[in-house]
Amino acid sequence: MKRKRFPWLEIVLLIVVLTVVGVLVNNLAVNLIRTGLGLSFEWLWQPAGFALSEHTLPYQPRDSTAWALLVSWLNSLRVIACSIVLATVLGVGAGAARRSLNPLLRQLAALYVGLIRQIPLLLQLLFWYFVAFLGLPSEPMAPIGALISLSNQGVAILGLNLSVEFSAVLVGLSVFTGAAIAEVVRGGLDSVPKGQWEAFRSLGISELLGLKKVVLPQALPAILPALSSQYLNLAKNSTLAIAVGFADLYAVSDTAITQTGRAIEGFLILLLSFLALNLLINGGMQALNRIVVRPAQRT
Amino acid sequence: MTGSWTAYRKRLLQARRHPLQTVLSVVILALIAWVVWSTATWLVFGADWSVVSENLPLFAVGAYPENERWRPCLWLGLLCLMTATTLLQPLMSARWRISGLALSWCWLAMLPFGLLLLAGGAGLPTVSSRDWGGLTLTVLLTGFSGLLALPLGVLLALGRRSKLTLPRHLCRFYIDGMRAVPLIAVLFFGQLLLPLFLPVDIEINRVLRAVVAFALFAAAYVAEDVRGGLQAIPSTQLEAAAALGLGPWQIQQLVVLPQALRVAVPALTNQAIGLLQNTSLMAILGLVELLGISRSLLANPAYIGRHLETYIWLAGLYWLVCTAMALMARQLERQGPSASTSAIPS
């Protein structure tokens, strides 16, 4: 219906954008030539020269920087994956508790969510590291038999040794994201009409069974998208691990950049590695979506 | 109070009919008692608050020159006064009440005024931004980056919904890209890489670089919140406005945006609170805002091992400021200038 006009506005905009990008790139080139740096990725294959506090793959300072970055990427992945599991357990528990029959439990959960969400994550991480984990006695203490042993040297669960830094980041991220997930879960539970709750309660079905069979299948389609964005937030927030000295992707990239002076290249690699992490989480959540939501909608 | 207590006890009694609930209640009560007891004994016997009490000026203003400290302190005091005025509005008699619009303008004016006070000029000796710090810097960073992020975010949100292909894709690329990277990377870019993209002779100070980085990052999130608000406006509104002969810009400015922003206010408040909390990340990159100043304090041998006291104090401060922001946003929303517009047709 509408007469197609000549796209003046778009052409002007395109020219403006191209000019700005051109000026920026030109400035960059001038600066790189001025400092004699240029662009090069040679340094990736040079020996890294720094130690990593922890590594899942064998690593030594004489290994290449690229290898150090890969090892740190795996460290990030490890802490993110563990935190996602723990945060989900905490968040689902706290979210369900806010709709529980027990008023004490409801208030406790509300207190947790309200408190955690008003305090910066970085401050919480510092607390977990410097106060909670480094404050442990140097002699290992085992509160639950041989299941778990705690000391300021590290944490051992069922013979699995975790460093203090890893534990602090794990607990800090999980507690913080758990509060956000609790809100997501509560919102999802609230999206299920009240009549559904009353119906299963009046049928004498227990709270847990009713939650599992009646409420959750209806709440999950609302919960899952918000949940995956919380997981992505968790992954992004894991970069704060640098503050407690955990050798994650950002911390090692930062060290590599300081050592080589290759800021632009290092930053590009950091972005690409992070993109890979994001894609991984997105892919996982989409697979979960297919598994969980489809069967629920079919019935 | 008593009514709610009896209702509460009744619900407790109801819950007691399930044996499991009783056990749960007892466990939770024991847990609460234990936490309260150990906290109380620590507060009385274990805690040493000298790290906080001896350094209050540092927490407030950082390394600001001592004989000029009244300037940031005056600003913080005025902010507290404004907060109290805003929060106490509903309790005041009509004679003392200030309109929401006037209050909003006062809040907006506080920012340039604070900058003038801190930086100096106009008769005051100048103080380099390197000496700014503490709560003052935290509030300043939050205020200015929020102020920049809001219009940028609105533009991005409008661009993302534009009928024109190029702006739509550009805005989408920017928003999605920015939301995919961690904030610390953006701040790192702002501190270390931004100078590389600027001409050699232009130098921006670190605080301004941080503000720009925060604003660019927050704008992407603001854009998504505003887009949510825009989606809440029914298309009949646009058609009605067009039928009245309004141009496309007038439609956005007079009809769509005022309503969309109003819908987005709660989400935007959350963003503002998130922004305040996120300014703590600058401690990693070397600015001495609230968290940065505590890190340098804790490195001082005189306060070795006083982490818990410092962190509790900081958590309390952040909690207080965040809660005040949330309450004020609700207040301004209720009192806001557009609250009465829905009554105009009658």
Q: Where are the alpha helices (DSSP H) in chain B?
A: 2-16, 19-41, 50-53, 56-61, 70-88, 100-119, 134-160, 165-180, 183-188, 206-231, 235-243, 248-250, 257-278, 290-298, 307-335
Calpha distance B17→A298 (Å, rounded): 38
pLDDT category at B343 given cuts 50, 70, 90 is: very low
Q: How many domains does chain B have?
A: 2
* Phi and psi torsions of A150, nearest 5°: -120, 135
Task: Tell me how far apart the alpha carbons of residues B166 and B163 are, in angstroms, rounded to a whole number.
Answer: 9
Please state which CATH number belongs to domain A42-119+167-298.
Answer: 1.10.3720.10
Residue B107 belongs to a domain: no
Within 8 A of A242 by CB-CB distance, chain B residues are 184, 284
Decide if B117 contacts B124 (C-beta within 8 A). Answer: yes
With contact defined as beta carbons under 8 Å apart, do B285 and B187 qualify? yes
B33 and B150 inside one domain: no
Q: Which residues pair with A162 in a beta bridge?
A: A155
Q: B1 pLDDT band (50/70/90 cuts)? A: very low
B35 and B165 both lie in a single domain: no
Sign of dihedral through CA atoms A194, A195, A199, A200? negative
Residues from chain A contacting residue B191 (CB–CB below 8 Å):
none
Are residues B138 and B262 located together in one domain of the fold? yes
Sequence letter at residue A229: S
Contacts of A102 in chain B (CB under 8 A): 15, 21, 24-25, 28
- Give the gap in angstroms from C-alpha B196 to the nearest C-alpha of chain A: 5
DSSP readout, A48-112?
-----S--SS---TTSBHHHHHHHHHHHHHHHHHHHHHHHHHHHHHHHHHTTSS-HHHHHHHHHH
The pLDDT of residue B214 is above 90? yes
Taking CB atoms and an 8 Å limit, are A34 and B308 in contact across chains? no
The one-letter amino acid code at A107 reads: Q
Give the pLDDT band (50/70/90) at residue B12: low
To the nearest whole number, what is the mean pLDDT of chain A? 86
> Pick from B182, B219, B270, B268: which is nearest to A234 by CA?
B182
Q: How far apart are CA A142 and CA A148, in angstroms?
A: 6
| Nearest partner of A207 among A95, A64, A99, A118, judged by Cα | A99
* Structural domain contains residue B178: yes
Summarize the confidence of residues B215-244 as an average pLDDT.
90
Do B300 and B189 lie in one domain? The reply is yes
Range of the domain at B167: 128-336
Distance between first and last Cα of chain B: 40
CA-based nearest residue in chain B for residue A17: B170
The predicted structure's pLDDT at residue B337: 52
Q: Are the Cβ atoms of A236 and B283 closer than 8 angstroms?
A: no
Mean pLDDT score, B133-147: 91
Q: What is the pLDDT of residue A2?
A: 54
Instruction: Please provide the size of chain A in residues.
Output: 299
Residue among B189, B308, B319 whose CB faces A131 most closely:
B308
User: Which pair of tokens denotes residue A273?
Assistant: 């590695």
Helices B257-278, B206-231: axis angle to 10 degrees equals: 140
With 0-12 CB in 10 A as exposed, 13-18 as middle and 19+ as buried, what is B34? exposed
Could you tell me whether strands A160-162 and A154-157 are parallel, antiparallel, or unpaired per DSSP bridges?
antiparallel
Q: How far is A277 from chain B (nearest CA, A)?
A: 10
The answer to the question of residue B267 being in a domain is yes
Range with lowest mean pLDDT among A145-154, B53-62, B244-253: A145-154
Locate tokens 């004699």: which residue?
A: A36
Which ranges in chain A belong to alpha helices (H)? 8-34, 65-97, 103-116, 121-126, 164-190, 194-202, 207-210, 216-237, 249-260, 263-298
Q: Are residues B138 and B33 in the same domain?
A: no
Q: Do B166 and A270 touch (CB under 8 A)?
A: no
Question: What residues of B are in contact with residue A270 (Cβ under 8 Å)?
Answer: 185
**CATH code assigned at B285:** 1.10.3720.10
At residue A80, the pLDDT reads 94
Contact: B182, A239; criterion CB under 8 Å? yes
The answer to whether residue B81 sits within a structural domain is no
Task: Flag whether pLDDT at B341 surpasses 60.
Answer: no
Give residue A2's Cα distance to chain centre.
Answer: 47
- Does residue B40 share a domain with residue B146? no
> Residue B285's Cα: distance from chain center in Å?
20
The pairing of beta strand A154-157 with beta strand A148-151 = antiparallel
Q: Which range, of A143-157, A245-259, B150-164, averages the lowest pLDDT?
A: A143-157
pLDDT score at A251 = 92
B318 CA: distance to closest CA in chain A (Å): 6
> What's at B266, amino acid-wise?
P
Residues B263-273: tens digit of each pLDDT: 888 889 889 99
Nearest by CB: A14 against B166, B181, B319:
B166
DSSP letter, residue A211: I
A29: left (phi over 0), alpha (psi -120 to 50) or beta: alpha
Pick among B16, B36, B184, B317 to test the A interface (most A CBs inside 10 A): B184
* Closest to A133 measured CA to CA, from A161, A159, A171, A76: A171
- The pair phi, psi for residue A151, each rounded to 5°, is -155, 170
Is the domain of B161 the same as that of B295? yes
Domain locations in chain A as residue ranges = 42-119+167-298
Q: Would you say residue B197 lies in a domain? A: yes
Q: What is the pLDDT of residue A237?
A: 93
Which of chain A's residues have a Cβ under 8 Å away from the Cβ of B32? 108
Select from B25, B183, B318 the Cβ nearest to the Cβ of A119. Answer: B318
Band (pLDDT 50/70/90 cuts) for residue B66 is confident
Would the pLDDT of B16 be above 90?
Answer: no
Residue B9 pLDDT exceeds 80:
no
pLDDT value at residue B340: 42
Give the pLDDT band of residue A169 (cuts 50, 70, 90): very high
pLDDT confidence of A90, banded at 50, 70, 90?
very high
Q: Tell me which of A6-10, A18-22, A123-127, B154-158 is least confident.
A: A6-10
CA distances from B5 to A105, B11, B14, B16, B27 (A): 17, 10, 14, 16, 21
From CA A168, how far away is CA A174, in angstroms rounded? 10
Q: Compute the distance between CA of residue B66 and CA of residue B50 in angstroms, rounded to an integer.
A: 20
The CA distance from A281 to B269, in Å, is 28
pLDDT at B2: 47
Mean pLDDT for chain B?
A: 84
pLDDT, tens digit, 9 for 90 and up, residues B278-337: 999 998 888 888 999 998 888 888 888 888 889 999 999 999 999 998 888 887 777 655
Range with top average pLDDT, A113-127, B52-66, B237-251: A113-127
Chain B residues near residue A131 by CB distance under 8 angstroms = 307-308, 311
Amino acid (one-letter) located at A60: Q
Smallest CA-to-CA distance from B141 within B7, B275, B16 is with B275
Residue with tokens 């299941």: A147
Q: How many CB pairs under 8 A join A and B?
A: 129
**What per-residue confidence (pLDDT) applies to B8?**
62
pLDDT band at A180 (very low <50, low <70, confident <90, very high): very high
Q: Residue written as tokens 């703590």?
A: B280
Distance CA B100, CA B273 (A): 20
CB A91, CB A178: distance < 8 Å? yes
Percent of chain A with pLDDT over 90: 33
Q: Which residue has the higher pLDDT, A222 or B145?
A: B145
Across A42-46, A98-102, A115-119, A154-158, the highest mean pLDDT is recorded for A115-119
Sign, CA dihedral A244-A76-A82-B315, equals positive
Per-residue pLDDT, averaged over A261-277, amounts to: 89
**Could you tell me which residue, B333 or B87, shows the higher pLDDT?**
B87
Residue A131 has pLDDT above 80, yes or no: yes
Measured in degrees and rounded to the nearest 5, phi and psi for residue B194 equal: -55, -45
Distance from C-alpha of A60 to C-alpha of A185, rounded to nearest angstrom: 44
pLDDT digits (tens, 9 = 90+) for A64-78: 888 889 999 999 999
Average pLDDT over residues B86-108: 79
How far is A233 from chain B, CA to nearest CA, in Å? 8
pLDDT number for residue B231: 87
